[in-house]
């Protein structure tokens, strides 16, 4: 048995806004939301300034669990479902790479403190949310760093498609803005020291670290509440692969990333020519951008639009896959591709058409790609629901 799988509810909190509409509006307006963060390093407390993407959250100590739950509540509300009513077999899957690093930094050094484990371990948070929102089937956490939430969406999609569950709550979450979080990524040499990112530009300068969360409600076709189908997007393909190359650098040829795109196209049963737009991982690091462009060239030998939204949101690590999936859905809904900010001199300008400005155009099929430290790649293919009967 093979079910069709639809996204029926969306929720998100990012530096661009506290809900889906606010995020989309900020993305299209292209105003910079990054704020300065002063980091004092070493015994001499040498000051180094970075820019970060912060969310507005009053509860710093419970930020991680609050971000996850708030996004989930938005998505549940958007889908029109009532968790207390029977949703059939309902699962909850979280994609996350690290917990609340500020909380860990402040509390794990005190060996006698009572830890709030839902701030440290996503699986504890998953168990708590599952209990509160009447999940009755599978509860799991997938960690594949920056591709975590894409793999979580992919897992939920496969479970519904293969009739193992009827409904899934998928959450992507990361909250690593802290001195130790910034210092750790700074030590890897991947952070931008400017107030902006320049994905796919020859002057790419690294990424800006951000925090945030996203949530999706996935349902099989016959479980969708009446009147909600018009706003739905269908997930038609998912592929995952590993570069098997290096723990922090991507395979420069892009073969690993191309493999996940190839698997997603095969799963969707479509040719690459049918993809109208690629929402790229586009972190703004030289290694990622070049590898990603090469990967797209291996799969797409015809003209296709591509852009990265990270220049606006910053890098939300484990949450970026779900946030960018939501942007992909909104691109189809509004027939608008968000351009890549600060893209003046593209690293390449072949048939993969990197957009620097927003483009109004009808979209039917969108691919979303995320790639991770460790070489873990995930590709999702989304299709606009055109009103055909299901």
Partner 1 sequence: MNRIFIKDIVCLYPDEVSGCIDTNLLLLPREKRKLDRYSQISLAISKKIHECNPDFFEHGEDISVLSATCFGAMNTITDEVARYHETGLVSPVFITKILSNMQAAVIAIALQLKGANYTVSTGVNSSCDAVIDGYELIMENREGRVLVVSSDSCDGEFGAAVHGNYCQDDVKDFGECGAALLLDSQSGNGALGEITEIQRGILHQHESIFKRLHIDVEKKENGSHGIYLRESRKQIIDLPFSSGSQTIFDIKKGIEYCRDNKDKEFIVYTISKKMIYSAITIKCVPN
- Residues that bind partner 1 in the complex, under the rule CB under 8 A: 40-43, 45, 97-98, 104-105, 108-109, 111-112, 115, 117, 121-124, 126-127, 130-131, 135-145, 147-148, 151, 155, 158-159, 162, 164, 179-180, 183-185, 187-188, 240-248, 256, 259, 263, 267, 372-376
Taking alpha carbons only, the member of 168, 34, 97, 30 closest to residue 371 is 97
Q: Which pair of structure tokens corresponds to residue 334?
A: 């509004």
- What's the min distance (Å) between Cβ of 302 and partner 1? 25
Closest to partner 1 by CB, 104 or 306: 104
Closest to partner 1 by CB, 164 or 334: 164
Closest to partner 1 by CB, 248 or 390: 248
Closest to partner 1 by CB, 112 or 360: 112
Closest to partner 1 by CB, 187 or 361: 187
- What's the min distance (Å) between Cβ of 213 and partner 1? 18
Q: Which residues contact 123 (CB under 8 A, 6 or more apart)?
A: 94, 140, 141
- What's the min distance (Å) between Cβ of 18 and partner 1? 28
Dihedral angle, C-alpha 313, 315, 319, 320, nearest 10 °? 70
Closest to partner 1 by CB, 185 or 305: 185
Q: Which residues contact 351 (CB under 8 A, 6 or more apart)?
A: 297, 300, 301, 302, 303, 304
- What's the min distance (Å) between Cβ of 231 and partner 1? 28
- What's the min distance (Å) between Cβ of 325 and partner 1? 17
Residues making up the chain, counted from first to last: 390
- What's the min distance (Å) between Cβ of 266 and partner 1? 10
Task: Give SS3 for 119.
Answer: helix
Contact 177, 165 (CB under 8 A): no
Q: Which residues contact 302 (CB under 8 A, 6 or more apart)?
A: 272, 273, 351
Closest to partner 1 by CB, 246 or 334: 246
Closest to partner 1 by CB, 24 or 371: 371
The Cα–Cα gap between 162 and 140 comes to: 17
- What's the min distance (Å) between Cβ of 96 and partner 1? 9
The Cα–Cα gap between 280 and 310 comes to: 9
For 39, the enclosing helix (H) or strand (E) is strand 35-41
Sign of CA dihedral 59, 65, 67, 69: negative
The Cα–Cα gap between 318 and 175 comes to: 9
- What's the min distance (Å) between Cβ of 385 and partner 1? 24
């Amino acid at each position: 048995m093979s079910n069709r799988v639809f996204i029926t509810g969306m929720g998100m909190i990012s530096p661009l806004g506290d809900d889906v509409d606010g995020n989309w509006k900020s993305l299209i307006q292209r105003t910079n939301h990054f704020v300065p963060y002063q980091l004092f390093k070493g015994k001499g407390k040498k000051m180094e300034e970075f820019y970060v993407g912060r969310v507005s959250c009053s509860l710093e100590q419970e930020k991680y669990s609050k971000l996850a739950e708030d996004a989930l509540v938005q998505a549940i509300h958007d889908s029109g479902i009532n968790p207390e009513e029977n949703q059939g077999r309902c699962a909850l899957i979280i994609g996350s790479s690290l917990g609340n690093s500020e909380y860990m930094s402040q509390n794990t050094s005190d060996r006698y403190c009572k830890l709030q484990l839902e701030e440290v371990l996503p699986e504890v948070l998953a168990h708590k949310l599952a209990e509160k929102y009447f999940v009755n089937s599978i509860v799991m956490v997938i960690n594949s760093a920056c591709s975590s939430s894409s793999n979580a969406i992919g897992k939920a999609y496969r479970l519904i498609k293969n009739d193992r569950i009827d409904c899934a709550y998928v959450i992507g979450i990361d909250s690593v803005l802290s001195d130790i979080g910034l210092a750790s990524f700074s030590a890897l040499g991947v952070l931008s020291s400017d107030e902006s990112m320049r994905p796919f530009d020859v002057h790419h300068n690294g990424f800006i670290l951000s925090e945030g969360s996203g949530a999706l409600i996935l349902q099989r076709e016959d479980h969708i509440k009446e009147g909600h189908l018009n706003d739905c997007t269908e997930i038609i393909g998912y592929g995952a692969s590993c570069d098997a190359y290096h723990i922090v650098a991507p395979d420069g040829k892009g073969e690993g990333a191309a493999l996940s795109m190839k698997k997603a196209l095969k799963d969707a049963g479509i040719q690459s020519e049918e993809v109208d737009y690629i929402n790229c991982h586009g972190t703004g690091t030289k290694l990622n951008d070049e590898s990603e462009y090469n990967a797209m060239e291996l799969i797409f030998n015809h003209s296709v639009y591509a852009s990265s939204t990270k220049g606006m949101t910053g890098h939300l690590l484990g949450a970026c896959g779900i946030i960018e999936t939501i942007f992909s859905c909104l691109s189809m809904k509004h027939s608008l591709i968000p351009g890549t900010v600060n893209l003046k001199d593209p690293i390449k300008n072949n048939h993969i058409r990197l957009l620097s400005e927003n483009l109004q155009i009808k979209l039917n099929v969108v691919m979303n790609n995320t790639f991770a430290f460790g070489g873990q790649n995930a590709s999702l293919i989304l299709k606009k629901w055109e009103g055909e009967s299901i």
